[in-house]
Structure 1
């Protein structure tokens, strides 16, 4: 990875922002306002794809399109679910660069121009991301000082990300070269929970990865209807889907990576360790561990993903907890450690764009 001084745009590239929408019509006007905030520096068009929302979102989208010729609408007559909706919108995008922005999320001022400038300066880069702020209610004041660009060789970035088995990207902060997106043919329907993670990794097997540093590129809205906090929540499902993602990646695209067997082993080890940490955590915190069947499944998943974990100290801790014996370290001490490691890991992720493995720095 190399750090560079950012360069300004010298022309006006065309960017299509695809906005999938399901029951988020009340967010659309605010979302579009942030999409067009950069229209002084890039040519932007927006494509809203409504997935047969029962709340009248399609009518809201049509009203917005009637008021602004830069907005077009695709309205489904039947619900096609999120992956098909994403892919239909991305396939219809006509810009040189493309952004997928959920109707409940927002872009930061200058986001499109900053990402497009990196793609302009680096034709070998297929995907650019940055930092996306989480918010509830009113978005916070964004960080606005652009400090640097990070540019990775694609396989180098894939190695760094799979080594921790974590997804460092939310989604609204991503801009992709349209040719890269078409080569990848969109999101994989086999991965309803982790298709974005899979897409980012596959992009790294095709070209370079860039990151805009120091500024907030987007805002990810947190509310009760978020897909990742609702239908697809749950640690067991999350581990299962990331395992499937990694298996598909290395089975189908591993030939595009150097030393894929080593990368696979590193990724599986990290994911198995995370699964077992999640199984142990409720016991470490003391009191009623809750759903012990789910915790046992997490431990079982750890052994399925990386059988050698049975030889680790972490596994011995699991055996102690699951047999009814309490933790050796007092729960408040463990909680304090976890908070400190989580905070430091978050700061590292915000600064570098690469998430550390769970409970590590």
Structure 2
């Protein structure tokens, strides 16, 4: 039977712990599971809640920090110092696993020794609301070559994983190291890419693997300044992967261009949409353009930059009212270009 070490970092989430731990220990038959709860000096009764759970189940260990060390140090303490099972999972105290998720992941990893980590579909649910219905029957799995999977992340400029749905081969986790403290908001995507540079990637088909709780305290940000910070962190993450794993990636220069182009386009798109929505007073348009220039010297050649310039010529006040006309004109030009290209192909 495969062994799985589950690390549950906790900061002021003691009221979620019982539900989280239940999903790990009571709903994962077929694997041998141990749990480490690390309370990062929570100012509430989270540590007491953790100790009460441990007193009822010998499979649970608890560590309590005397001072707050931050989430990256807490993650690495569990992953690098404590985890010793065949596989390891990092699960926030406010999330939970879908029944059978660990055995589905372990089955995939057992069958494919070249796979370094696997994931599946996460289900988001709103705090205070009911859990969505989860699929628990797998229809198989897919194994992606690690470098192909990593290259796709560079082309898309983003990750495709939430986090609680991932199970990692512990030996590989120890080989590549823990989360990068320089990436407090993009450490996840950098970690998955770093793992993929060394091993293949598995995906559980058909079944859902984890529940991700959405609430106001989530670390991910939705404000406009937070979105810009997210882009900056992603750029650092992609650069960090190339710095650490460039010798394993034959086309590292092209990967860098792909990621930087995509991130520049994201930034410029957010900038021109601020004009469409009348939000130029709150969206840092100038900083977004500066970020695009940092990513790509040829950013002015991108279609998103041309879209931004059209809106700037129209003006921030008028643009929300004229957006339908502008978009219609752009669409007409696009259709005209496609029509002209079709005639050129016919030799007319």
Shorter-chain TM-score above 0.5: yes
Does the 8 Å CA contact 1:133/1:219 hold for their aligned counterparts?
Answer: yes
Residues 104 and 204 of structure 2 are in contact (CA less than 8 Å); yes or no, is this contact kept in structure 1? yes
1:233, distance to aligned residue in structure 2 (A): 6.8
Q: How many aligned positions are there?
A: 322
Distance 1:228 1:15, change over 3 A: same
Question: How far apart are 1:290 and its partner, in Å?
Answer: 2.9
Contact 2:29 2:100 in 1 (8 A): no
The correspondence for 2:280, drawn from 284, 289, 295, is 289
Superposition map of 1:101-116 within 5 A: 101-116=91-106
SS at match of 1:307: coil
Query: Could you say which residue in structure 1 is the equivalent of 2:53?
Result: 64
TM-score of the aligned structures, taking structure 2 as reference length: 0.88
TM-score scaled by length of structure 1: 0.85
| Cα distance in 1, alignment partners of residues 119 and 262 from structure 2 | 23
CA distance in 2, matches of 1:299, 1:235: 13
SS in 2 for 1:234: helix
Structure 2 SS opposite 1:15: strand
Contact 2:28 2:101 in 1 (8 A): no
Q: Which runs of 5+ in 1 are unaligned?
A: 1-11, 338-361
**Structure 1 residue 284: deviation in Å?**
2.0
Matching residue of 2:269: 277
In the TM superposition, 1:157-168 aligns within 5 A as 157-168=149-160
**2:58 counterpart SS class:** coil
User: Given the alignment of the two structures, is residue 41 of structure 1 paired with residue 30 of structure 2, yes or no?
Assistant: yes
Match for residue 26 of structure 1?
15
CA-to-aligned-CA distance 1:323-355 (integer Å, 9 cap, x gap): 453276418979xx9xxxxxxxxxxxxxxxxxx
Structure 2: unaligned runs, 5 residues or longer? 332-348
Deviation at residue 279 of structure 1 after TM alignment:
1.0
1:82 aligns with 71
Provide Cα deviations, 1:131-151, integer angstroms capped at 9, x if missing partner. 111101221110233123111
1:321 corresponding residue in structure 2: 311
2: distance between equivalents of 1:119 and 1:65?
29
Q: Could you say which residue in structure 2 is the equivalent of 1:135?
A: 125
Q: Which moved more, 1:135-144 or 1:297-306?
A: 135-144
Which residue number in structure 1 is paired with residue 290 of structure 2?
300
Q: Distance in 1 between matches of 2:75 and 2:32?
A: 22
Conserved? CA contact 2:28–2:99, under 8 Å:
no
Tell me how far apart the structure 1 counterparts of residues 135 and 225 of structure 2 sit (CA, whole Å).
30
Q: Post-superposition shift, 1:113? A: 0.4
CA contact (8 A) 1:155 1:258 kept: no
Query: Paired residue for 2:194?
Result: 202
Match of 1:3 in 2: none
RMSD: 2.0
42 and 231 in structure 1: CA distance in 2 versus 1, 3 angstrom threshold: farther
Provide, for residues 60-96 of structure 1, a one-character-per-residue CA deviation record: whole Å limited to 9, x for no partner.
Answer: 1011001000000010000000000000011211211
Distance 2:16 2:223 in 1: 20
TM-superposed CA distance for 1:176, in Å, is 0.2
Secondary structure in 2 matching 1:163: helix
Change (3 A) 1:333 1:135: farther
Whichever of the two has the greater Rg, that structure is: 2
Specify the SS of the correspondent of 1:228.
coil
Deviates more, 1:32-41 or 1:256-265: 32-41
Q: Give the 3 Å change call, closer, same or farther, for CA 219–333 of structure 1 in structure 2.
A: farther
Distance across 1 between alignment mates of 2:16 and 2:181: 26
Whether the 8 Å contact between 1:172 and 1:219 is mirrored in structure 2 is yes
| More deviation, 196-205/257-266 | 257-266
